[in-house]
Structure 1
Amino acid sequence: MVQIFQITAPIFLLIGLGYLAAMGGLLNREQVRGIGAFVITFAMPALLIKALGTSSIQQTLVPGYLLAYAFGSLIAFTLAFGVSRWVRGDNLSGSAINAMGMSVSNSGFVGYPLVAAAIGSPAVLGMAMGMLVENLLMIPLALVLAEVGKQQGGGGLKVLGMIFGRLLKNPVIIGIIVGLGVSLLGIEIPPLLFKPIDMLAGVSAPLALFVIGASLFGMKARGVWVDAAWIASGKLIVHPLAVLGAFLLVPGIDPVMKSVGVLFACSPMMSIFPILGQRFGLEDRCSATLLVATVLSFVTISVALLFIGVGAS
């Protein structure tokens, strides 16, 4: 248990430091967004290019892992959508956003620092493959359903094309493509370029955690705690269990990578969840859910680490 605390405590201390910095007025919301933009635009792509570009393509893309992580995430999405739509009586847009919250992890800002601290270098490969699943499958699926429910935007196909157009401009996706291209072509990154890439990669994890904490300050949550509780619980419990079940069904996956995938699924939902929900009038619900999931993840992540054997001795 001491080892588990040593892994989780620095992560949540950095989140708390970001929260205190925002609460104390050291950073305003625009400055926090600026730091987040730096992480997404420069630091995280550099981390992906460094990791993927210095590994063989066989080590970088593991078909079984991609299949299992996608399948587990789809199971969580389907369960959340069904409960939201037919048990709680939410509309199509709300159900789609709720399902996205339960099935899409914050792989970059929380998942990567967590898995890197617990397991080490496989964290980058897990992050890259997880982000492919999230950005190319889960988020487009949710947003298309939400837009169809809103009956705006010219229909599902037009929305899907718009989403994928934006994804091609996403720095994280560009970083994955560049890293995979360097690996596939066997290009060695020159030392003159590798050094700044390495320096940028090194600041991605601490800055990401700091931004998460600062972003949590001032979130509004008016009368939506019941919704927040069940969505957050599903994200922190149902999604990891669904991913674990999928890994058990797909043969030939390295046990270490199974642990990586489950820990990524244990992370709370992405930090832009309230922003995506704002278009559909769900910003308060999404903000409350993100806040609850981030706080409770300290407990669920610790349990997951104990379950996979970290700190068991």
Structure 2
Amino acid sequence: MLAILAITTPIFLLIGIGYVARWSGVMQREQVQGVGIFVLYCALPALVIRALNQQPLEAIFQPHYLVAYGLGSIAVLGAGLVLCLKLQRQPLNASAMQALGMAAANSGFVGYPVAAMVIGSPAAVLLALNMLIENLLVIPTALILAEMGNQHGSSVWKTVRQTALNLAKNPVLIGLTVGILIAVTGVAIPGPIEKVINMLADAAGPAALFVIGGSLFGLQVKGMMRDVGQIVIGKLLIHPLAILVAFLLIPDIEPIYFAGALLFAASPMISIYPLFGQRYGLGGVSATAMLVGTIASFFTISLIIWLMTLSGLITF
């Protein structure tokens, strides 16, 4: 257990440093957002590019992994929709947002730093694969459904087109495209540029955790316990469980990737989740779920790492 705490404690201490920086007034909200922009537009794309050029392309893009992670995530999204829309009779837009909170992990800002501490360099490869699932499948599906709820089923194709345009501007997916092109063409990256890519990639983990901590400052837990509770439980427990089942059903996935997938799935909801929630009338619930989920993930991630060590999936 001490070995597990040695991994998880520094991660959440970095989150705490970000929080204290905002609480103490050392950094303002806009400054934390600036660090977040640096991570999203510079560090994470560089991390993906480096990952795609450290080993042969055929060793990176594993269809079995993509299918398993995609099935597990979309199953949680569907279950969340059924729970909120059919059983609790909530509106479609609110149901889609709650389901998104359960099914889309914070892969870049929490999942990658945690996985990198546990499984090492393969974490960067998994970041690229998971970003494909989240940005091309889970998030667009939830946003299209939420927009349909707002517009009562009209302008669906307009929503699909707008979502596609937004995805085309996603810096991580742009980095993914650049990395694939470099890997396919075999173009050698000049030494100075490669050094810059490495420096940016190394900054991704610590800076991302700092941003998460700073973003949590000012969020308040209010009387929304049912919705917040089911989102947090769905994200931190049901999503990893669904990924576990999906990976057990699909063969030929390396154990280290299996372990990494569970760590990514155990991460709290995506960092922009409160922004999506605010757009669709769920601002308070989504922000509170982000706060509670991030704090609770210290315990659930530690538990999942401990269970994986007991099963022999990972060793220290």
If the length of structure 2 is used for normalisation, what is the TM-score? Answer: 0.96
Point out 4+ residue stretches in structure 1 off by more than 6 angstroms. 310-313
| AA aligned opposite 2:134 | E
Alpha-carbon distance between aligned partners in 1 of 2:152 and 2:161, rounded to the nearest angstrom: 14
Please, what is the CA RMSD of the aligned residues?
1.4
Q: Distance in 2 between matches of 1:186 and 1:262?
A: 32
Q: Extract unaligned runs of 5+ from structure 2.
A: none
Q: Any gaps of 5 or more consecutive residues in structure 1?
A: none
Contact 1:85 1:91 in 2 (8 A): yes
Q: Deviations over 1:155-195 (max 9, x none)?
A: 22211111111111111110011111111222221112101
Structure 2 residue aligned with 1:160: 160
Contact 2:259 / 2:314 at 8 angstroms: preserved in 1? Answer: no
Once the two structures are superposed, residues 52-103 of structure 1 have per-residue CA deviations (whole angstroms, 9 ceiling, x without a partner) of: 1232111211100000000000111111111111222211001100110000
2:72 is matched with: 72
Mapping of residues 1-313 of structure 1, within 5 Å = 1-151=1-151, 155-309=155-309
User: Aligned partners of 2:305, 2:210: CA distance in 1, in Å?
Assistant: 22
Q: Deviations over 1:102-136 (max 9, x none)?
A: 00000000000000001101100111000000000
Letter in 2 for 1:78: G
Inter-partner Cα distance in structure 1 for 2:154 and 2:165: 16
Report if the CA contact (8 A) 2:41-2:172 is conserved. yes
State the secondary structure of the residue aligned to 1:308.
helix
1:311 Cα deviation (Å)?
Answer: 7.8
Amino acid at match of 1:244: L
- C-alpha distance after superposition, 1:229-267 (max 9, x if no partner): 111011000000101100111111111111111110000
Distance 2:152 2:192 in 1: 49
* Cα offset, 1:137, TM superposition: 0.5
User: Post-superposition shift, 1:222?
Assistant: 3.2
**Identity across the alignment (%):** 46
Could you tell me how far apart the structure 1 residues matched to 2:299 and 2:222 are? 25
Give TM-score, length-normalised by structure 1.
0.97
Is the Cα–Cα contact under 8 Å of residues 256 and 314 in structure 2 kept in the other structure?
Answer: no
**For the residues of structure 2 that align with 1:253 and 1:312, how far apart are their CA atoms?**
18
Between 62-71 and 22-31, report the one with greater CA deviation.
Answer: 22-31
Q: Which amino acid aligns with 2:28?
A: N
